[in-house]
Structure 1
Amino acid sequence: MEGWEGLEGKVAVVTGAASGIGAASARRLSALGARVVAVDVDADGVHGVVAGLPGPGLAVPGDVSREEDVRRYAQRAVEEFGRLDLHHLNAGIVGSFAPLPELTADDFDHVLGVNLRGAFLGVREAFRRYRTQDGGGAIVLTASIASLRGSHDLLPYQASKHGVLGVLRGAAMYGGPLGVRVNAVAPGLVPTGLFSDAAAAAGGGDDMLRRGTTVPLRRTGTPDEIASVVVFLLSDDAAYVHGEVISADGGSAIVNTVRPSGGAGAWDTTAVDGRPDAGDRPAEGVR
Structure 2
Amino acid sequence: MVQTRPDGDCPDSHGPINLVSRNGVVCPFCFTLPDCSGGRGESISTHRCFYSKLFFVDYRSMSRFRGLWQASVNATKRALTWNLEDLVPPNEKYIFNFSSAEELKRWHLYSDSEYGGLSSASLEIQNPVNGSSCTGNLSLDINESSRWNISRSGFCGMRSKKFDGFIDLDAYDTIALKLKGDGRCYISTIYTENWVNSPGQEEDNSWQAFVFVPKDNWYIAKIPLARYLPTWRGNVIDAQLEMNPARIVGLSLSVNAEGGFPGAKSGPGDFHIEVDWIKALRSQT
Higher strand fraction (1 or 2): 2
TM (norm. structure 1) is 0.24
TM (norm. structure 2) is 0.24
Higher relative contact order (CA 8 A, sep 6+): 2
Higher helix fraction (1 or 2): 1
